[in-house]
Amino acid sequence: MGQYGSDARAQASGAVRDVLESVLPGAVGCREFGGRRRNGRGSQAAVVNRVLSQRGVIQGQDVDRVKKQQREEQRRRVRREQRLREELEAEAKMERLQRHRSAGRMSKEERAYVGGMVRRNEQLLRTWDKGEEVAELEGQVLQDMRGASGKRQKRKRGRAMCQKKQGSNEQQLRLTPGLAPVGASDEEDTSEGEQEGSDRGW
C-alpha cells in the first residue's frame, strides 16, 4: 500500500468499515481503522457558516423581489386611482356643461371646450371611416397584385412549355462519349472536319 496516498487508504478503510458494520453490527465500534472519518463538508462551524450565508443570500434575494413587487403594485394602484379621478372629473365637467347648456348660460371657455370636443369626436369618426376605406383599398390593391402576378406566372409557364416543345423537336447529331457522332462513321467525321476547317480558315 506504499504507492497509494493517504486519501486512498482512508477511503478503502472506510469502505471496509461500512461493509463490516452492515454484516456484523457493533463489530467496528473502536477507532482501529484510521480514526475519525472525513466528510467533504468541513468542520461543523464551516457548515453552519455556509448554511447561514446561503440563507442570507436567499433571504436578500427574496427581500429584493418582495420590494420590487410592492413597488409595482403601488404604481398600479396609483395609476388606477388617477384614471378613476380623471374619469370622475370628466363626468362632473360634462354634467356641469349640460346643466349650463340647458339653462343657456355657458361661458366662452365652456363653449370653446365643447367645440374642441366636437371637433375631436368628428376627427375620430372620420378616422374610423377612413380606416374602413383604407382597408377596402388595401384589399383591392392586394387583389390586383395577386392577379397581375398570376398573369405573369402563367406567361412564364407558357414560354417555358413552348421552349421545351421546341427543344424536343430539334434533333442534332451529338457525340457519344468516346465515339463518333451518332449515325456517322469515324472516316466521315475526319473528312468533314478537315473540309469545315479549311472553309473557316483553320
65-114 per-position pLDDT tens digit: 888 988 999 999 999 999 999 999 989 988 988 888 888 888 888 888 88
Write down the pLDDT at residue 1: 47
pLDDT band of 201, cuts 50, 70, 90: low
Write down the pLDDT at residue 163: 75
Beta bridge partners of 181: 175
Cα separation, 150 vs 154, in Å, equals 6
Domain of 111 in residue numbering reads as 64-128
Region of poorest pLDDT, from 13-22, 75-84, 169-178: 169-178
100 Cβ neighbours under 8 A, 6+ residues apart: 106, 107, 110
Q: How far apart are the first and last CA of the chain?
A: 94
* Most confident of the following: 17-21, 43-47, 109-113, 198-202: 109-113
If you average pLDDT over every residue of the chain, what do you get?
75
Q: Which backbone phi and psi does 181 adopt, to 5 degrees? A: -55, 150
- Establish if 100 belongs to a structural domain: yes
Three-state DSSP class for residue 181: strand
- Establish if 9 belongs to a structural domain: no
- Establish if 175 belongs to a structural domain: no
pLDDT band of 131, cuts 50, 70, 90: confident
- Establish if 40 belongs to a structural domain: no
- Establish if 112 belongs to a structural domain: yes
- Establish if 185 belongs to a structural domain: no
Distances (CA, A) of 91 to 3, 95, 129, 189: 93, 6, 27, 103
Residue type, 118: V
> Of the candidates 33, 38, 31, 35, which has an alpha carbon nearest to the alpha carbon of residue 7?
38
- Establish if 102 belongs to a structural domain: yes
Question: Could you give the number of structural domains in the chain?
Answer: 1
* Most confident of the following: 77-81, 116-120, 156-160, 169-173: 77-81
107 Cβ neighbours under 8 A, 6+ residues apart: 100
Cα separation, 199 vs 195, in Å, equals 6
